[in-house]
Amino acid sequence: MLQFSAQQIAMMIQGKVEGDASVSVSQFGKIEEATAGQISFLANPKYEEFLYITKASIIIVNESLVLKQAIPATLIRVPDAYAAFATLLTKYQELKTQNLTGIQTPSYISTTAKLGENHYVAAFAHIGDNVSIGENVKIFANVVIGENVKIGSNVILHPGVVIYADCVLGNNITIHSGSIIGSDGFGFAPKADGSFQKVPQLGNVIIEDNVEVGSNTTIDRATIGSTIIRKGVKLDNLIQVAHNVEVGENTVIAAQTGISGSTKIGKNVMIGGQVGIAGHLNIADGIKIAAKSGITKSFKEANLTLTGNPAGEHNASLRAQVYMKNLPNLEKRVKELEILLAQLTQKG
């Protein structure tokens, strides 16, 4: 179990210690539940009440925080407590895995595969022919890497990940358990008799640097060319990315979203959960898509906020929802007017 003092932690996250710099912790805890020997953080003001009653030994706080009373815990002040805590968790995870090296048995590594220094291959992993793997790559149990795959450095493949043949992964990538990279795109040509003929999927998947892929996410290989996940993209669990899709830099996509084939998504796009995006569309840079929206057309103006099904610009969609909500009352009023008009006509 790793243990660090407040002074050491402050150096990691470039913070300033307020209190006993020698106090040490070995675990993380939520501020409302933390105990002695744990470190926590306070970023959301609605949890400030717990700052004065928590038993955490060290708390990371914003440097702008003004204490309402004295507390026994040691504080580490930083510009952004949430970001600093995320940095600390990342460094802790790196320290936990950096000592994992070597090859466990049973596992299969082709004689033509090339592995860089400080690699770790867990039992029951399979690495195919002509695979190239960089330095500090961690491959956990039951990972399958197909032939001709290229993987950069500082990559973590969690248990059960499958990388199909010919795919290319860059540096600093994490792929979580059960995800499949490079399975066939959904390509079937209708025939005259009503059946479907499979269209061979001959392309690959390219994942650039600094990408994270959540558990049980699937990224299909291109029919021809490449399905591309650009650098800095973050994909949640249970996402479907179809063949020939391109996801732009630093885009984030929440769980259960499905992106149909050949759609191009721009940079810095934010997509909520359960969004459905039709094929062959273009989504401009900086667009935000609300959860459960259905995207049926291209949006080429940057930085829009979209919602609804079919999705439209946020304010217009909200107005449409109000109108839809009032339709029953409107229908009732129309019927009443029809009756009144009929009565007036008879009297006339």
Alpha carbon distance, N-terminus to C-terminus of the chain: 93
> How many other CB atoms sit within 10 Å of the CB of residue 143?
23
Q: Which secondary-structure segment (H or E) carries 307?
A: strand 305-308
Query: What are the angstrom distances between the C-alpha of 40 and each of 1, 86, 120, 301?
Result: 17, 11, 31, 42
In this structure, are strands 204-207 and 168-169 parallel, antiparallel, or unpaired? parallel
Count CB neighbours of 4 within 10 A.
Answer: 19
Instruction: Name residues whose C-beta falls within 8 Å of residue 230's C-beta, 6 or more positions apart in sequence.
Output: 208, 246, 247, 248, 249, 250, 251, 267
From CA 244, how far away is CA 165, in angstroms rounded? 16
Nearest CA to 13 among 97, 77, 96?
Answer: 77
Residues 6 or more apart whose CB falls under 8 angstroms from that of 146 comprise 128, 131, 162, 163, 164, 165, 166, 167, 182
Residues labelled catalytic: 243
CB 85 within 8 A of CB 31: no
